[in-house]
Structure formats: C-alpha cells, structure tokens
Structure 1
Amino acid sequence: MNTPSNPNFESFLDKLPFDTFNAMQLDFMEKSLGNKPLMLLAPTGSGKTLAYLIPLARHLQEHYPHSRGLIIVPSRELALQIEQVFKSLKTGLNACTCYGGHAFKTEANRLKENPALVIGTPGRLSEHVQIGNLAIPDLKIVVLDEFDKSLQFGFHEQLKVIFGALDGKQKYQLTSATKLESLPDFLPFSECETLDYLKENAGSKLDLKLVRTSSVEKVETLMRLLAGFEQESSLVFCNHREAVNRISTLLTAYHFPHGILHGGMEQIDREKNLFQFRSGTQKLLIATDLASRGLDIPEIKHVVHYQLPPQKNAFIHRNGRTARMFATGQSYLILAHDESLPDYLEKELPEHQVPDAFKVPETSSLACLYISAGKKDKISKGDVVGFFTKKGGLDGSDIGLISILDSATYVAIPKDKVQELLKLTSKEKLKKIKVKVALAN
C-alpha cells in the first residue's frame, strides 16, 4: 500500500524520528479519508496516535477555523502526551488540553479562543459542555482514543453528556487495544468499519514466569526479584495504590531506587515520575494500571505482576508494555501460597526461583533537573538547550529528554554534571526570566 498522496501525509515524516509509516498507519490514513465511522484495533505501542493524528492535523490545516477536532482520552497523562505529539507536527495550529487537576478557568479562557484541536478527559470535557464553554458547531472530527478504557474507568455518563451535545454529523474515529463486544447506545452509529491489527502482535515473544512465595514475604520476594534485574528497565503492577505505597516504603528503607505512579498522586508528581522513568533517570516504576495503556513509556525489559488483575484484558495490556511489536520481554507473576491463578491463565507456568541474597542496584547515571518555568512562560526545548549549553557549560550531547509542563520543566542530564551546572546557572536568566534550577525531589 502506498502512502496516501491526497492529502500528502508523507510531508509530516520530516518532523518525525522515522522515515516511513507502518502498514497499520498507512491503512488507517487511507480509510480516514472517507466519512464512515472508523474503529482501529491495534496493540499497545503500534503507533495508533500518529495513525489518526496526522490525517486530523492535515484536515485542520486545510479547513480551520471552519472545522475543528476533538480527541477524548481516558487519562490526563494520555491527553498531555497527545498534545506534545501534535505540537511536534508543527502545524502552526493551537491545541487546548482539558483534564481534572488543571486550572478550569485557564481551560475556559483557552476554549473561548476556539482552538483548532481540543484534547480532554470525559469528566472535564463534560463539565465544559454543560457550562457551554465548548463550541460544538465547528467540531467536525471526533476521536475516541483508548475508547474501551474510558468505558472501563466508568466514564459512560460523562461521554453520554458530550455526545448528547453533538449533532451526530461529525466524522467519528475510535481506537482500542482490545475488541469491543458492542458499541454503547450513546454513539450516533451502531456499526463502524473496523481495521483489526491485533493479530499483528502474535509475533511478540513474551516469556511468562511464576514466582511463588508466602503472603508474609511477598514484598521481600518482589525486592529480591527486582534486584536481579540490575539496571534494566522494569515496571511493577499493583491493583491498588495502597500496595504501590507499601512496596515503595520497603524499597525506600533499603535505598532501592524507584519511582511510583497511581491516581492518588498530585498531577505534578505523576508527570515528574513518568518523566524520570521515560528519561532513564529511574529504571524502576511501581504503578497501578494507570501505566498499562496509552502512555509513551520506552521499551521495558521486565513487567512484574505483584497483584493479578481480575480481567484478562487488563493482564494483556500490562504485558503490552514489554515484548512490543515482535520484541522480546520478561513477565513475572508473584503468587502467594494462599492465592490462585485466575481462569484466564494456564495452570502450568514455568517457575522462577528468586535467590535469598541480593544486592541493591546502583542509581542511574542520569539525574532529573527541575526548572521553575514552563509553557506559561513561553519556554521551548530550544531555549532549555541554549540555556544549559551557553550558561550551564554542557555539551548538547549531555542533554537528554526534556519535558515542558505548564509551570515547570524537567531535563535529564549526566549526574556528574549536575553540581557544576547548578553553580553556573544559579544567577542566570532563562529568556529574561529568573528561574530556579534544582534536582527534582
């Protein structure tokens, strides 16, 4: 299949870190030119976001302000991630992101400007719809990304409010990493064209192993298992935030480097911890299923299920963080003697023995720096690189991942460069702004 030539989606490749689109993306882009409701089923990590975002961006470039787009996502992290991808396409168009924990008044003011693209979570978007902040008539394309997850999170009523305000004449596109048995009745259509690429994940090589332990020693067993991974990127899943915090307390007592992620955390802490994991400043993340889908997390070598989810789909999505797109990966199930395997798993799994002795791994060679300025201050990644190279004494190659948030920026740099940089930048200004630069705590 050739890249669609009308419109020319291929021109976006100059702004992306690869030379060609994959077969799934090309297929979806071609089908997106029609007006029928379209469902894309594809595994985690296959590139669904770009598959729908590039045709949407091209449409907005050609038809804004008479046509605008709406993307509905299940989590604030995914909303922010999509916003960053959209910005990387350099369309020259504005996007407004709406989610719980973000300033409602700021969102309302941005929506009054009728941005080309609105990205948001069902709860916050439904609030804006009810108040009348979201201009409905110009919304011509509606994307429901990770749609089944929004339903699983219980956003049925909020989605009903949003769709109740639409006139049903929009072009609809849905994405999911699992098949839906049926479509909810609030959608203005009962059938849609489906592109099923879930079978493409059949070639991945996921090695599942069982780790047995007693209930009393379960957390200690987990720590010994994790120590054996050394510096390899690892993700531990729990069903509840209380378990995440309990594990974190033990790891902290042993000075075991790690980060955590769950829905009870402040948004700024969630974003910081995700950045540290993405950038490699933390190699271990303990998380709830918030980290199982839709987030831009790099290839992970080990996935550990400290608690098994009750549903098979959740288990599949967790494992989808590793062994992605025909890669190899390790997945471990830690099972106490008084726990049993769920029906969706085979009863005979190879067992992995965890040694009694272990050594706490070294911390990462990278450090995460905090800068007290962000999007609201018109800070760009180029500004940060210039500040650290011209004022902080770094080479460009020293600067790793950069994440710019509303009021803060995080940057990964080599740990041995931190003290000198902090000294050199202590009284310097970034874009004429007096900023604080410090190690992220």
Structure 2
Amino acid sequence: MNIDEILNRLHVGQLNEMQQAAIRIFEEGDDIVLLSPTGSGKTLAYLLPLVSFLKSDVKGVQAVVLVPSRELALQIDQVFRSMGTGYDVMSCYGGRPAMEEHRVMKNMNPSVIIGTPGRMNDHLQKSNFDASTVRLLIIDEFDKCLEFGFQEEMSAVLGQLPCIERRFLLSATDAEEIPRFTGLGKVRKLDFLTLESSLSSRLHLYKVVSPLKDKLETLYRLLCCIGNQSTLVFCNHRASVERVGKYLHEMKVYCETFHGGMEQDERERALYKFRNGSCPVLVSTDLAARGLDIPDIRNVVHYHLPVSEDGFIHRNGRTARWEDEGNAYVLVYQEEEFPSYLSEDMLETYVLPDSELRPPLPEFVTLYIGKGKKDKINKVDIVGFLSKKGNLQKEEIGKVDVKEHHAFVAIARNKAKQVLKLVRNEKIKGVKTLIEVAK
C-alpha cells in the first residue's frame, strides 16, 4: 500500500498526529480504542490500516465496518472508493431490500462490507457471505453502536464472526463501559480528547437570547443575519424539527428538514440540497450530529440544547472541522437555565439588530433529472447537456450527483427559468427525460 498515492487521490496533504499514532499502533498488532474529536480524520485513521491488512490473494469479505447509521455507511463507502485501492467495498443498511444487496454482494464479492448492525445481522443469519474469511472488525462511533438499544443486535453480529483477529473501535466520545461481547483482547487506548479539542479555539460560541419562550422568531432573525452560510439547526425531537421547518418555510427561508422518521429518499434529497448550496439551512434531530461529512458547514444552531455534554460536542463537531473556523449559537429563553455541562460564561452574547430582516435567496437551485446511471448517463453528460442546450457557463453549474435512476444538479438560480425553457423536449444522450426544479 502506497500511503502517499492514496493521500494524493484524496487531496490530503499529510497525516495528523492522531492518524499517524493509529497506524503505528495497528502495525504493532494490538486491538485499538481510538478517541478523537469530530472532524479530526478518524475515518482515514482506520481505513489506511484496514487497507494494509487486506490480502490480495484472499477471496471473500476480509473486513467488516459496523456503523450506527446509513449516512455514515455511505460516507465511509465513498471515501474507500476514492482511495483507489483495487479492493471492492459495499455498504449495507435498512430501508432497501436485503435481497437486492445480496445480489450485489454475490456479483461483487467485496473485500470490505460497511453496514448497520441490523442489516449486517440479517445478511449473516442468511449466510449471504462467508463469515469465516472476516479477520478485521471496525466499530465506528462505538459509543453509539454499543448503546443499550443496539447491544442485542451488536452481540448477535459479533457472535457470527468467529474468526476475528483484530478489533478497532473509534468515537469522538467515550463509552462508560465496553461490553465483553466485543471480544477486545490486548487493547491500546489512544485518547486524543481534551477540553481544548472538544471545544476548538476555531469554534466561536454565542448565546442568543429570546424574549419569548417560543424561540421561532428569534431563530428566524438569526438566520436572516447569518445569510447564505451553511447552517445546521438542531432540535431535540422530530415534531420540533417539523414545526420549525414549517415556520421557516412560511417565512420564506430556504430550508430542509432531516430526521429518522422521514423516508430515506426524502432524507437523501434534503442532504443533497444542503450540500450543494441550494438550501443553506438544514433543521435536524441529532441524526445529523454524527456520520455526516458535509464540508464547509459554517454554523451550528442549538434551537434546543441536548441533554448531555456528548451531544453538545457531537453537534458542534459539524463545524470548525480540520483547519476551518465555525460558529455555534445557543438559543435560550431569557429565563431558561443552562444544563450543568455548559457554563454561561463560555458563551459570548450575540445581539440581533432591531431593524427588519429578510432571508436571502440562495445562489443555486437544484434540478431533478429523471434518468441516471442505469440509463448510461454520467456527470460529464449532464454538464455537457446543460452547457450546450441550457447555455450555462461552467461557473453556473454546481454539484452534480448521479443516482441509479435519477440525478440532481445545482445551477445558478438566476438562470433556472431560462434553462428549463431551453431544455424542454431536449434529450440527454438520445434519451428524453423529465427535468424540473427538485421538490
């Protein structure tokens, strides 16, 4: 494995201290528990050792990566593919037919499977892949995976992986206790968590006082001040996410909602709009506090404060990643008490202006294209089509994401009507398709 070549493909300059330590300790042969802040590069800290562990002459699954959410599985899958290792990988998760995954698994014969505990358990119980070749187990966000609600599934999964030789557990927060069923042997604990790293000097903490117990108007005014900067608004409950999202829509704020009660295609579409800049505000439960690798999130807003300090750390970890700076705003009713983990003197007061504020229009809008990979359409085809038929310049076309049966593309908002008119009844690679503003 040539680490320099992989880092070059990933556009990573050099490994940080934590990543170097993880690789060094892994080479020494011990099991590892790695604690490091969100955004510090833990995914690469275990994918590089994972690749070095794989053997090209072994057929079948050699490594299993367990994660608590579909979004994290897809993120890791994407990073692994970008590494260009020559080994096949696939992700497995609920919300789609297990039989479809099994067909892909059978045809691909991957060396690495990334999956959620429930779906991994399903495949193992049906013997959809040979568990005897799996020698490496990685548990990402292990504190979440090993919570009470997940323990039965996790125990069942690990009980069906009899030939594990090495174990690597990672998280941004520690767990009170690691269950025996994980099978940890001689373990090395690498703790890169400090108060300074959890609340980085690049993260600016603000308190925004609401004169009313209902903080909706205060949130609206804050978002108007923030403008088009990428902003995550956290609520503690799904119903609150829906209520906040509905209010912001009524106030003409471009936002999307994100929580576990939504269909996966709805969540996927919301994330895509948030990533490509056509929707600068994402209102979410703590589902978005872990496992989402969305670059350039500038602001985190705590509409509700989480119950635990760990939740506060994970939420704030969505911004000020790597060397970037970011802001975290805590919305509080003027008579509200702070939780024990948060001291009021840690927060600078952010004063909202008295003047009337209006939400800005995002620079981009997302188009939906009703054809995708199954129709032999790729990113180059879409960019070429929009340039030639829609008269768009390169800088007027943003992020393009091609799925199996459809695609999304961000284009300059001020050109959207022109483009839709020009491409009406036009064909992409000889195929007629629906093109409209994504709902």
Q: Is the 8 A contact 1:44 1:294 kept in 2?
A: no
How has the CA–CA distance of structure 1 residues 324 and 93 changed in structure 2, closer, same or farther, with 3 Å as cutoff? closer
Residues 1:170 and 2:168 are matched in the alignment: no
Alpha-carbon separation, structure 1, partners of 2:428 and 2:329: 46
Change (3 A) 1:350 1:422: closer
SS at match of 2:287: helix
Deviation at 1:159, TM superposition (A): 0.8
Provide the rounded CA distance (Å) in 2 between the counterparts of 1:41 and 1:76.
Answer: 22
CA shift in 2, pair 1:364/1:223, >3 Å: same
C-alpha separation in 2, matches of 1:150 and 1:406: 29
Change (3 A) 1:422 1:95: farther
1:194 aligns with 2:192: no
Matches within 5 A, 1:336-415: 336-337=333-334, 339-348=336-345, 349-377=347-375, 379-415=377-413
Q: Distance in 2 between matches of 1:153 and 1:269?
A: 28
Taking the aligned partners of 1:21 and 1:383, their CA distance within structure 2 comes to 36
Q: 1:397 Cα shift?
A: 3.9
Task: Work out the CA distance in 2 between the residues paired with 1:221 and 1:315.
Answer: 20
Displacement of 1:399 in angstroms is 3.0
Q: Within 2, Cα distance between the matches of 1:67 and 1:23? A: 30
2:49, 2:427 → 1: CA distance? 40
Q: 1:164 to 1:256 in 2, by over 3 A?
A: same
Task: Give TM-score scaled by structure 2 length.
Answer: 0.90
Contact 1:302 1:322 in 2 (8 A): yes
Query: Structure 1: how far apart are the matches of 2:112 and 2:262?
Result: 28
State the match for 1:236 in structure 2: 233
* Alignment coverage as a number of residue pairs: 435
Provide the identity percentage.
42
Residue in 2 that maps onto 1:129: 124
Task: State the partner residue of 1:140.
Answer: 135
On the 8 A contact 2:60/2:111 being kept in 1, the answer is: no
- The answer for the alignment partner of 1:3 in structure 2 is none
Give the Cα–Cα distance (whole angstroms) in 2 for the partners of residues 367 and 197 of structure 1: 40
1:376-407 Cα offsets, whole Å, 9 max, x none, are 45554344434444554444443322233343
Residues 1:16 and 1:268: Cα distance change in structure 2 (over 3 Å): same
Amino acid at match of 1:110: V
Alpha-carbon shift at residue 310 of structure 1 (Å):
0.8
Residue 226 of structure 1 is matched in structure 2 by 223
Unaligned runs of 5+ in 1: 1-6
**Cα offset, 1:10, TM superposition:** 1.3
Report deviation, 1:64.
4.3
Q: Contact 1:400 / 1:411 at 8 angstroms: preserved in 2?
A: yes
- Say if 1:66 and 1:322 are closer, same or farther in 2 by CA, change over 3 A: closer
Find 1:159's aligned residue among 130, 154, 173.
154
Tell me if 1:41 matches 2:35: yes
The equivalent of 1:437 in structure 2 is: 435
Q: 1:80 to 1:407 in 2, by over 3 A?
A: farther
Asked if structure 2 preserves the Cα contact closer than 8 Å seen for 1:371 and 1:438, the reply is yes
1:422 partner letter: L
| TM value normalised by structure 1 | 0.90
Structure 2 CA distance, aligned partners of 1:262 and 1:125?
22
Conserved 8 A contact 2:92-2:115: yes
1:310 aligns with 2:310: no
Q: Give the drift of 1:240.
A: 0.4
1:71 and 2:50 matched: no
Query: Which residue number corresponds to residue 80 of structure 1?
Result: 74
One-letter code aligned to 1:282: C
**Correspondent of 2:264 among 242, 247, 267:** 267
Distance 1:373 1:288 in 2: 31
Greater shift after overlay, 428-437 or 238-247? 428-437
Provide the aligned C-alpha RMSD in A: 2.5
For residues 81-131 of structure 1, the C-alpha deviation after alignment (integer angstroms, 9 at most, x for no partner) is: 112222222334432221111222211212333322211111111122222
Q: CA–CA distance in 2 between the matches of 1:390 and 1:64? A: 48
Bigger mean CA offset, 326-335 vs 239-248: 326-335
Find 2:176's aligned residue among 169, 176, 181: 181
Kept in 2, the 8 Å contact 1:204–1:326? The answer is: no
- Mapped to 2, the partners of 1:95 and 1:376 lie a distance apart of 20
Query: 1:427, 1:288 → 2: CA distance?
Result: 41
| TM-aligned CA deviation for residue 13 of structure 1 | 2.5
Q: Report the Cα distance in structure 2 between the residues aligned to 1:275 and 1:153, rounded to whole angstroms.
A: 32
Instruction: Tell me how far 1:267 sits from its aligned partner.
Output: 0.7
Match of 1:102 among 85, 96, 102: 96
- Deviation track 1:193-216 (CA, whole Å, cap 9, x = no partner) reads 122222472652333232333555
Structure 2: gaps spanning 5 or more residues: none
User: AA paired with 2:81?
Assistant: K
Secondary structure, counterpart of 1:38 in structure 2: strand
State the secondary structure of the residue aligned to 2:8: helix
Distance 1:210 1:384 in 2: 44
Shift of 1:161: 0.8
- Tell me, in whole angstroms, the C-alpha distance in 2 between the residues paired with 1:81 and 1:186: 27
Of 40, 51, 73, which residue of structure 1 is paired with 2:45?
A: 51
In structure 1, C-alpha distance between the alignment counterparts of 2:419 and 2:25, rounded to whole Å? 50
- Once residues 352 and 239 of structure 1 are traced to their aligned partners in structure 2, the CA distance between those partners, rounded to angstroms, is 22
The one of 10, 15, 33 equivalent to 2:9 is 15
In structure 2, what residue type is equivalent to 1:270? R
Letter in 2 for 1:42: S
- Displacement, 1:286? 0.9
Q: Is the 8 A contact 1:203 1:326 kept in 2?
A: no
Q: Residues 271, 44 of structure 1: CA spacing in aligned structure 2 closer, same or farther, 3 A cutoff?
A: same
Q: Kindly tell me: are residues 153 and 352 of structure 1, through their superposed partners in 2, closer, same or farther at Cα, counting changes over 3 Å? A: farther
Deviates more, 1:301-310 or 1:426-435: 426-435
Post-superposition offset of 1:371: 2.2
Q: Counterpart amino acid of 1:352?
A: Y
State how far apart, in whole Å, the 2-side matches of 1:77 and 1:288 are: 14
What is the alpha-carbon distance in structure 2 between the residues aligned to residue 32 and residue 425 of structure 1? 54
Instruction: Name whichever of 428-437 and 409-418 sits farther off.
Output: 428-437
Which among 63, 85, 92 is matched to residue 91 of structure 1?
Answer: 85
